[in-house]
Amino acid sequence: MFLYFKYKKVKIYTEENKQIACPNCNEKGGMLFKVYKKIFSIFWIPTFPLGKIGKAECLYCQSEFKKSKMSPELIHGYELVKDKKNIKATDFSGLIILCGFISMVFLMDDGSYEEKEKLYLEAPKKGDLYSYKINDKHRYSYLKVERVSEDSIFVIPNSKYSSRIMKMRRINKAENYNPNLKYGISKDEVYKMYQEDKIFQISRKSGEE
């Protein structure tokens, strides 16, 4: 999926100051402060503000000053204008939409995956994959169901392990399952491992449900 994102400047303040002299022409009464807010957008939808930037302009000599080029007096006047609050709900439109979408996904799920796992546990099939925690707290691997009998489940252990759950998929390769290492576990023991979260996920290929 292609994501288009960028940030844009939106002018929020233009304020004239008649007390500060221009550092270039020394005329008073013509300093204009312009303040912009930076908005991060995804697909042109404002997602969240990234802060404010601005500049000062002299109406007499047309000189422009970024903050790095401002005199201390000019910086003070600029900061007074910049610190005014101007945050709108529309600045977070994208974030609000994203949160709503995530909430909708969770509501639609309504525990259906957990119900599927319970079904897989009660009626195991060849090819089911058990994600489990090895005795070491930071080691995770797989057990692949090879055969199911009346009271036992015969599994092939994955010969590799991962130190992170999020990276387990990297070791789920056919060459990491050696049929010669197959062993049986009673269904009661598998159920106990699931209840104790030693087996923390059960997955089945789509189309085999």
- Please write the tens of the pLDDT for every residue from 61-106: 999 998 888 888 888 888 888 877 665 655 556 566 666 666 665 5
Arithmetic mean of pLDDT, 51-61 = 87
Does the pLDDT at position 208 exceed 90? no
Q: Is 203 exposed, middle or buried (0-12, 13-18, 19+ CB in 10 A)?
A: middle
- Please write the tens of the pLDDT for every residue from 160-205: 999 988 889 999 999 999 999 999 999 999 999 999 889 999 999 8
- How many Å from the N-terminal Cα to the C-terminal Cα in the chain? 28
DSSP bridge pairs for 21: 28
pLDDT at residue 92, as a whole number = 58
Q: Among residues of the chain, what percentage have pLDDT more than 90?
A: 35
Residues 6+ positions from 150 with CB-CB distance below 8 Å: none
- Please write the tens of the pLDDT for every residue from 37-51: 877 776 666 666 677
Note the Cα 170 to chain centre separation in Å: 21
| Of the candidates 66, 83, 70, 82, the residue with the CA atom closest to the CA atom of residue 20 | 70
Arithmetic mean of pLDDT, 140-157 = 95
CA gap 113, 181 in Å, rounded = 30
